[in-house]
Structure 1
């Protein structure tokens, strides 16, 4: 049976961006299937009483240095978004609408890049339209899909289901019933996949 990595994420998280930069390669190395589970991090925080690292100034400053370390290790660009925190409900709905389509992984790339590679304010419709168009996507079509009630409900259900499973932040990965939180736990994710072969 093919192993699966469930990736629960919100593009508003720079650590989720770093995890995303590595997970497709981990899936390829291990023969695992990467299953994307978009969630709303704000909803998770509200439900669990958690808060972003920046809510504690010393922790926020440390995290900034740590993000730079991991970006260097992974050899990926990381530019802090000057609009942070950005309301990510629209980009996360667009990603949810893309699940199961040929554009699924491309859409995740596009949204993460617009947050952490060439940062912009994705909460603005004009910026979303520009980002989608520049990526060769039909912005009007994807924004219409994102406003469909079924998509909205799916994203809400994903978030609620994540909280019920014990998720308190992003990125969170599951291999079977084993949960791994944080982009600094990717080695454990890969070990869990290899151990279950």
Structure 2
């Protein structure tokens, strides 16, 4: 059994799911397959939008996310710079996954922590650079990966696959052909693995 985890680091719900899915998969003996996609392209293609685009929904969504963070026992700070343009970040994530897989989880932790614990403005390239350097990454290597044609093509391909499979937001998990949208449905993911 495996859980395919379609995500974007700019999604606080993806962050919360990321804090829980490894434990869920380990407990069920399932493989967790990370599928980085570009949420902005998903929104554009489906006509969907972030809950933050509707002020009253955005406020309530933030409250619910805080409730889940408390339930999970993980920190969460709603980033005042949200939404973040994640094109370069998700290219970097895809590139590291493809070419430096041993560093993939470290990069995910670095970016999720920067966005959803430290609430950094990762719309600023200089701040992205400082964040990555502090985490031990080479900016030149990350930029080369993010700008590599094969990496760009892979991110586009995964995003297109997500759309073809009915994904409209992040996170979205698949167990076989069953789709589960949102970090608030991880109990259904667990049930599907049982």
State the TM-score, normalizing by the size of structure 2: 0.95
Match of 2:83 in 1: 85
1:181 lines up with 2:160 in the alignment: no
Give the CA deviation at 1:123: 2.8
Match of 1:9 in 2: 7
Match of 1:168 in 2: 168
Aligned to 1:179, the other structure's residue is in SS state strand
8 Å Cα contact 1:44-1:163 kept in structure 2: yes
Stretches of structure 2 that go unaligned for 5 or more consecutive residues are none
Match of 2:134 in 1: 134
Residues 48-101 of structure 1: CA deviation (Å, up to 9, x unaligned): 111111222221121011011001001111111121111111111111011151
State the TM-score, normalizing by the size of structure 1: 0.94
Aligned to 1:99, the other structure's residue is in SS state helix
Q: 1:70 aligns with which of 62, 68, 71?
A: 68
Whole-Å Cα distance in 2 between the matches of residues 52 and 15 of structure 1?
11
Q: How does 1:34-73 map to 2 (within 5 A)?
A: 34-73=32-71
Aligned to 1:168, the other structure's residue is in SS state coil
Q: 1:31 aligns with which of 16, 29, 32?
A: 29
Whole-Å Cα distance in 2 between the matches of residues 184 and 71 of structure 1?
11
8 Å Cα contact 1:129-1:140 kept in structure 2: no
8 Å Cα contact 1:39-1:155 kept in structure 2: yes
Q: Report how many aligned residue pairs link the two structures.
A: 192
Stretches of structure 1 that go unaligned for 5 or more consecutive residues are none
8 Å Cα contact 1:6-1:36 kept in structure 2: yes
Whole-Å Cα distance in 2 between the matches of residues 165 and 108 of structure 1?
24
Aligned to 1:78, the other structure's residue is in SS state coil
Give the CA deviation at 1:31: 1.2
Give the CA deviation at 1:145: 0.9
Aligned-CA RMSD value: 1.1
Whole-Å Cα distance in 2 between the matches of residues 132 and 32 of structure 1?
31
Aligned to 2:102, the other structure's residue is in SS state coil
